[in-house]
Amino acid sequence: MTVKHKIIHGQVFQEDGVFSPGTVYICSDRIVSEEEYQAAEGEETVTDASGSYVIPGLTDIHFHGCMGKDCCDGTTEAFRTIAEYELRQGVTSITPATMTMSEEVLSQICQTARDFSCPNGADFCGLYMEGPFISLEKKGAQNAAYIHPADTAMLKRLQDISGGCIRTVVVAPETEGAMEFIRENSGTINISLAHTTADYETSKEAFSLGASQLTHMYNAMPPLTHRAPGPIGAAAEQEHCMAELICDGVHIHPSVVRASFKLFGDDRIILISDSMRAAGMEDGSYDLGGQTVNVSGNLAVLEDGTIAGSVTNLMDCLRTAVKDMDIPLESAVKCAAANPIKAIGLWKDYGSLTPGKYANLAVLDEALNLKQVIHRGVSVF
């Protein structure tokens, strides 16, 4: 017998990026059409979403941890804690990020990812490999001891161990072997430019070879200036390129966030949290990639004062973008739910409330407070 659930009277986020009054129909773990819903037999649950927004569950493709756990812990327990916390925030699918670590540590993370499942947590959609193929000069919070030239053989070893779980890999295109690495791998994996000193011309070449993303734009890269547009200027000109933004109120000034939306458009911005293990925890000292991070409020810094990731989950970043940065809700939802899934190639099953996709969604009140989370057709919040 099919479990049926319909959500009525809400403002429903449509695949074309607008809200309109509507009903969402769910049978078992999938969104279905009204006709399919009516034809199905089974017990029915009805949710009245009057005065509320019904949106696809968010996808965080770039974050490191939360609730005291980190992707680089490399354990099933850590992955489970992360997945369960994210789901409670309305983030229903994730690709946690590694750090610049030894191949031995990365291999353990990949092995855990290969075998991981968590029915009570956000859907685990793979890994985001941030490092070790980065620039020493722009390492940010990455550990310099493990920086490594771009290496296709190493990526293949890790990808084999993970069972194909690595969705995104970052690279500094100016470093040794990077261009060849991009040429060799861009057809099979999402390549993002990151932790780089690359100038405009170098970045443009990398995008022409198949790189398609900027990791936490503005952070750990040359700025956009009128005589040296750098990787940001190069990315803006490439229609296939998306750019990540951390809208936690710390990493990027609201004016720059608004300018970025005008420069790239809301079809090409990806909201990420880049959160570390302190997300959801109290102020104090924490570890990130083997380095000590001191957290106070929304600010997380290394001992030398370098900003070290965020302590804000993606749903809170969405709220900050809308409430404090004047980004339209429609745009923020597109950039936190649809665009990230498109970047990692899973649009067929995720990212919108279209019949046939997984029934992963969130209901927000008019103040954007979370009222309900539905994961694969089951209400979990």
The catalytic site residues sit at 274
Q: How many helices (H) and strands (E) does the chain have?
A: 11, 23
Q: 269-272 and 284-288 as β-strands: parallel, antiparallel, unpaired?
A: unpaired
DSSP single-letter state for residue 14: P
- Contact between residue 335 and residue 322 where contact means Cβ atoms under 8 Å apart: no
Both tokens assigned to 223: 């700025």
Q: 4-13 and 53-56 as β-strands: parallel, antiparallel, unpaired?
A: parallel
- Contact between residue 101 and residue 289 where contact means Cβ atoms under 8 Å apart: yes
Give the C-alpha separation, 185 to 381, whole Å: 40
**Three-class DSSP category at 11:** strand
Nearest Cα to Cα of residue 324 among 272, 266, 270, 253:
253
Nearest Cα to Cα of residue 374 among 15, 30, 17, 22:
30
